[in-house]
Chain A
């Protein structure tokens, strides 16, 4: 690193320019990662927070994908799953989006219908036919607290408690009884019995024969994480944002690679001299890669710090930004790794520099 370090301080302008590019790319990736995670949380936190490991959907027609919007399950299917060996708990869960009013205020909410006393909902024991539990965001949006009244699709209900921050498809969740949910959004179209809910939340043991359970109940069961793909808005939104993130990572690697390609060409004369003087190629490669890592790490740390500072500033506001190690450190690590890869590919040309060119008057 003797020469590399002095190059960094000697060619300050060039490296500062490249460092600024790395800072900006990292900042952009960091902000996009925080926003992606924040939007995802708004989309799926009600599902990911369910105390269940599997979700059973009504088996879709041939050629159709699973969908929370289309699935309707019956009481027979629920009971079938409840009696399946290896299933420790099976609870029906109804989901619908509706409008809630409280006084002058109105807000779109997702109503999650559960059995009274269910552990699927926070403070499930407070849920009854005339009572609901509202999430913090819904309570804030509607301006209600425990004991207040809230109207869901024309039906007046009492807020039993305010708990959690679950949201679904970008709307805050109101936990209601299954009977209330049914009255708000009467499901239709269930095959083989009266419709009961949207899906069945399952807790299963390792030896549970899920395939046999699906065949018997006429359902399709997936893991809770896999069920997120059945939320239409999440799939399209998350896919677009992840694509943007991927492109940013690729651009970052290409920009760093392009910079070090030009830099290596510029200093190929110096490399030839060092080789002629007896410098091993591996030492020159390590030197150049170390230089790239210093630039990448410095730029990435600065960009990440900026992204974290901006994230901290907007957290708690209406901007859905998730500031977690996963959204801050993981993109930084990926930026460094891909940037180093781009640099490594560029500085490979050091191996082909001929020390003979250092002799004579060609330089």
Chain B
């Protein structure tokens, strides 16, 4: 397993009490599979993603990323684990306005201490893989919403992560573009053998995923997708 959440409980302060966002959640995600996390607003989907991304430390339970238990790791160790093993596809593309599409990917090499210049070839290769071969020199404001989301996906793959966390990737797209992005994510997951967790509210796009995890009131139930 590349991502394992075992008996994870996460609570937030809520006035004088604490709100349970995740209630003893257990989830194993093998490499090369897509697990979709669905549920109503406020059910704990985003909390699950934040815990898996090592951005939030759970109250109890264990999180293991690429064989490394995250409990007890320092903040800089967690940052390094995120950099090396986790790719994040944000809900909004969150592209840096000053960078071109290729540079959005090259920056991942820069934050890893490698030369962004030498990473250009790989950036172009990934842009090609997401169907943006001719858009490498364009800045975010010169790209469409779907193209920005593809750059977002390509950036997440730049450091060859074993875990790919995808947050509502189609929320800003129409159904057709949303389906294309889902198809792309599924193909990339299988081709690059990532353990992909995909948070979405759009059940119509779940036909291509391997498993569905439904979160309700912080509790998680696994089901198979309807083909």
Contact = CB atoms under 8 A, between A and B. Distances in A.
B168 A279 contact: no
A39 B111 CA distance: 52
Interface of A: 2-3, 6-7, 9-11, 269-270, 273-281, 283, 355-356, 358-361, 363
Contact of A361 (B50, B53, B91): B91
A361 B91 CA distance: 6
B55 A359 contact: yes
A276 B53 contact: yes
Given A270-B96, A277-B82, A278-B86, A361 B168 contact: yes
A354 to B, nearest CB: 8
17 contacts: A2-B116, A3-B99, A7-B98, A10-B97, A10-B139, A270-B96, A273-B90, A276-B55, A276-B82, A277-B82, A277-B88, A278-B82, A278-B111, A278-B159, A279-B79, A356-B55, A358-B94
A349 B51 CA distance: 24
Interface stretch (B100-108, B124-132, B185-193): B100-108
B90 A278 contact: no
A30 B99 CA distance: 37
Lowest 6 CB-CB distances: which A-B pairs, in order?
A278-B83, A10-B98, A279-B111, A2-B110, A278-B82, A6-B98
Contacts of B99: 3, 6
Contacts of B46: 359-360
A114 to B, nearest CB: 69
Nearest to A283: B111
B214 interface: no
B171 A280 contact: no
Nearest to B161: A278
Given A3-B96, A10-B98, A277-B88, A360 B167 contact: yes
A70 B99 CA distance: 70
Contact of A274 (B103, B111, B116): B111
A361 B82 contact: no
Given A10-B139, A276-B90, 4 more contacts: A3-B99, A278-B82, A278-B159, A360-B91
Contact of A279 (B83, B90, B116): B83
A9 to B, nearest CB: 8
A56 to B, nearest CB: 64
B144 interface: no
B130 to A, nearest CB: 17
B17 interface: no
A359 B55 CA distance: 10
A273 B83 contact: no
A283 B80 CA distance: 12
How many chain B residues sit at the interface, stated as a range, is 35 or more
A11 B99 CA distance: 11
A280 B111 contact: yes
Contacts of B195: none
B167 A277 contact: no
Nearest to A279: B111
Contact of A359 (B50, B110, B113): B50
B34 interface: no
Contacts of A11: 98
A276 B112 CA distance: 13
A269 B98 CA distance: 13
A284 to B, nearest CB: 8
A277 B98 contact: no
B158 to A, nearest CB: 9
Contacts of B49: 359
Contacts of A10: 97-98, 139
A141 to B, nearest CB: 60
Given A7-B98, A359-B167, A277 B83 contact: yes
Contacts of B55: 276, 355-356, 359
Given A274-B111, A278-B80, A6 B103 contact: yes
Interface in B151-189: 155, 159, 167-168, 171
A11 B139 CA distance: 13
Contacts of B88: 276-277, 358-359
Contacts of B50: 356, 359
B216 interface: no
B84 A278 contact: yes
A119 B206 CA distance: 100
A286 to B, nearest CB: 11
Contact of A277 (B56, B108, B113, B139): B108
Nearest to B116: A2
B110 A3 contact: yes
B54 to A, nearest CB: 10
Contacts of A278: 79-80, 82-84, 86, 111-112, 159
A3 B116 CA distance: 10
A11 B92 CA distance: 22
A277 to B, nearest CB: 6
Nearest to A5: B98
A278 B81 CA distance: 8
A3 B104 CA distance: 9
